[in-house]
Amino acid sequence: MSSPILKTYFILLTFSLVFLNSTSAQQVIFEYDDSGNRILRQVIELRVAPPQDSSNMNSTNMEEQSVFDEINPVNSTLADGREVYIYPNPTDGEVLIEISEIREDETGELLILSMEGKIIEQKTELDKSIPIDLSAQASGNYILKLRLGKQNKEWVIVKEGTNP
Give the DSSP letter string of 79-146: TTS-EEEEESSSBSSEEEEEES---TT--EEEEEEETTS-EEEEESS--SEEEEE-TTSPSEEEEEEE
164 falls within a domain: no
57 falls within a domain: no
Q: Please state, for a pLDDT cut of 90, what percent of the chain lies above it.
A: 26
Count of Cβ atoms closer than 10 Å to residue 163 Cβ: 9
Instruction: Provide mean pLDDT across the span 80-94.
Output: 88
55 falls within a domain: no
Number of domain units in the chain: 1
72 falls within a domain: yes
Cut 0.75: pTM above it? no
Give 76's pLDDT tier (boundaries 50, 70, 90): confident
46 falls within a domain: yes
Domain extent, residue 70, equals 3-50+62-159
45 falls within a domain: yes
Q: β-strand 83-87 against 74-77: which pairing, if any?
A: antiparallel
Tens-place pLDDT, residues 46-72: 554 444 454 444 444 444 443 444 455
Confidence at residue 27, expressed as pLDDT on a 0 to 100 scale: 64
Are the CB atoms for 152 and 146 separated by under 8 Å?
yes
19 falls within a domain: yes
Distance CA 3, CA 91 (A): 35
Distance CA 124, CA 107 (A): 8
56 falls within a domain: no
